[in-house]
Amino acid sequence: MNSHDDLIRDLARSTDATPGKLTELRARLAAAAERDGILDIAYRVVDSPVGALLVAATELGLVRVAYASENHDAVLQHLAERISPRILAGPARLDPVARELDEYFDGRRQSFDVPLDWRLSAGFRSTVLHHLPEIGYGHTASYAAVARLAGNPKAFRAVGSACATNPLPVIVPCHRVVRADGGLGGYLGGVEAKRTLLTLEAAA
Amino acid sequence: MSVKQPFERVVADHGRTVLRVCRAVLGPVDADDAWSETFLSAMKAYPDLPADANVEAWLVTIAHRKAVDVTRARGRQAIPTDDLPPIPASAETEHDDDLADALAHLPHKQKQAVAYHYLAGLPYNQVAAILGGSADAARRAAADGIAALRRTYPGAATRKGKTR
């Protein structure tokens, strides 16, 4: 063996910290960044009956909820480009929404009251999304009915695209929008997830 | 066009190497603070970093400055330690102490050149940009450092006798 390479390897090993140390330092960094006001986006991943949900919040509020099928890495990259790359996994800011989601999936919560940052939706789509919480827990509404709620009865296709691009699914209940003929319609988290949410709400 | 990754990715990709560099230059006791300050400063400046910048070289440069600050602060607080052994690394004895000792005793320039080239993998022109001076001087400092480690660290010579 080459003793030079051995020495370098020993050097790397002797200066290597334990994995626990890095975890501790990363948590400390997230706390310090929050304290200094430079943590533009904090995120964590919450387990749920509809799979792993990424939840991300700015200092204003919850800005993104994403299903695993949307690819969490791609979603974070998109947030870096759209809002800011100063993004860290930082559980503290997401504690309230994680707790509310747990309660919701346990059937103990019917609406969410965490602050929301709506900046990822705009125009008529945003108007549509703002009206969705008016469809109560356990109820559904047709795309046409939501178009009327949003003040443009002819715009039921736009309602469909607003739901398909909802940056805050589950929290902003686009899963309660279904087809007039009783069919489930599409869902950005997959039809199975939509069925799971509606079944959960119907049972509670 | 290259796009900037979430900072979490930067920490995940480079956190371990930067901690190694901090530990090599400062020892394990002061390394944690230097690491924290490095990544906090880096995160502040991150939006302004050119998208095609060499992130690792940038981080090591920041870590170098933080380590210089820590070393100066330590110098103000303590008795000059030229003739004294370094502060023992409490609760960090799981590693090769002989080598850590040998490294701690190297002159600053050699220690830095070894850390930035061999641990962080920076080419000598980048090491020189951080330390000042020429790439040749950086190469010599690293070579002298390695030669000194080889003389004082018995592990490299008697490797077969070691159990780990």
Q: Report if residue A116 sits inside a domain.
A: no
Contact A36 B44 (CB under 8 A): yes
C-beta separation of A116 from A185 below 8 A: no
Residue A4 confidence (pLDDT): 85
CATH topology of domain B7-155: Butyryl-CoA Dehydrogenase, subunit A; domain 3 (1.20.140)
Global confidence as pTM: 0.88
- Closest-approach residue (CA) in chain B for A30: B40
pLDDT band at B163 (very low <50, low <70, confident <90, very high): very low
pLDDT band at B153 (very low <50, low <70, confident <90, very high): confident
Judgement on whether residues A36 and A91 belong to the same structural domain of the protein = yes
Judgement on whether residues A131 and A69 belong to the same structural domain of the protein = no
User: Mean pLDDT, to the nearest integer, of B87-98?
Assistant: 52
Judgement on whether residues A89 and A152 belong to the same structural domain of the protein = no
User: Mean pLDDT, to the nearest integer, of B77-94?
Assistant: 50
Judgement on whether residues A93 and A53 belong to the same structural domain of the protein = yes
Question: Per residue in A7-52, pLDDT tens?
Answer: 999 999 989 988 899 999 999 999 999 999 999 999 999 999 999 9
Instruction: Tokens for B138, please give them.
Output: 């950086």
pLDDT band at B154 (very low <50, low <70, confident <90, very high): low
Q: Inform me whether the C-beta atom of residue B119 falls under 8 Å from chain A C-beta atoms.
A: yes
pLDDT band at B93 (very low <50, low <70, confident <90, very high): very low
Compute the nearest-CA separation of B75 from chain A (Å). 22
Q: Inform me whether the C-beta atom of residue A84 falls under 8 Å from chain B C-beta atoms.
A: yes
We report the CATH number of the domain holding residue A137 as: 1.10.10.10
Residue B79 confidence (pLDDT): 53
We report the CATH number of the domain holding residue A46 as: 3.30.160
Residue boundaries of the structural domains of chain B: 7-155
Number of domains observed in the structure of chain A: 2
Q: Report the residue from A14, A32, A86 with minimal CB separation from B7.
A: A86
Least confident of A126-140, B18-32, B77-91, B99-113: B77-91
| Rounded CA Rg of chain A | 21
Q: Report if residue A192 sits inside a domain.
A: yes
Question: Could you tell me the CA-to-CA distances from A133 to A130, B10, B116 in Å, in that order?
Answer: 7, 38, 55
Contact A10 B100 (CB under 8 A): no
Judgement on whether residues A146 and A100 belong to the same structural domain of the protein = no
The runs of H, that is alpha helices, within chain B are 7-26, 28-45, 55-77, 97-104, 108-114, 124-131, 135-152, 154-157
Tell which of A5, A13, A14 to mutate to test the B interface (max B CBs under 10 Å).
A14
pLDDT band at B161 (very low <50, low <70, confident <90, very high): very low
User: Mean pLDDT, to the nearest integer, of B56-75?
Assistant: 92
For chain B, positions 63-82, list CB contacts with chain A under 8 A.
Answer: none
pLDDT band at B1 (very low <50, low <70, confident <90, very high): very low
Given the residues A101, A158, A174, A188, the one annotated as active site: A174
Tell which of B3, B4, B7, B110 to mutate to test the A interface (max A CBs under 10 Å).
B7
Residue B43 confidence (pLDDT): 98
Complex prediction ipTM: 0.92
Q: Cα separation of A67 and A78, whole Å?
A: 14
A174 is catalytic: yes
Domain of residue A147 covers 123-203
pLDDT at A68 over 50: yes
Judgement on whether residues A29 and A95 belong to the same structural domain of the protein = yes
Question: Per residue in A99-141, pLDDT tens?
Answer: 999 999 999 999 999 999 999 999 999 999 999 999 999 999 9
Looking at A72, A105, A138, the residue that finishes a domain is A105
Q: Report if residue A145 sits inside a domain.
A: yes
Judgement on whether residues A99 and A13 belong to the same structural domain of the protein = yes
Among positive and negative, which fits the CA dihedral B154, B155, B161, B164? positive
Question: Per residue in A171-196, pLDDT tens?
Answer: 999 999 999 898 998 899 999 999 99
Judgement on whether residues A48 and A142 belong to the same structural domain of the protein = no
Q: In Å, how far from its chain's centre is CA B147?
A: 18
For chain A, positions 9-48, list CB contacts with chain B under 8 A.
Answer: 10-18, 21-22, 25-26, 28-29, 32-33, 36, 38, 41, 43
Q: Report the residue from A3, A17, A89 with minimal CB separation from B23.
A: A17
Judgement on whether residues A152 and A92 belong to the same structural domain of the protein = no
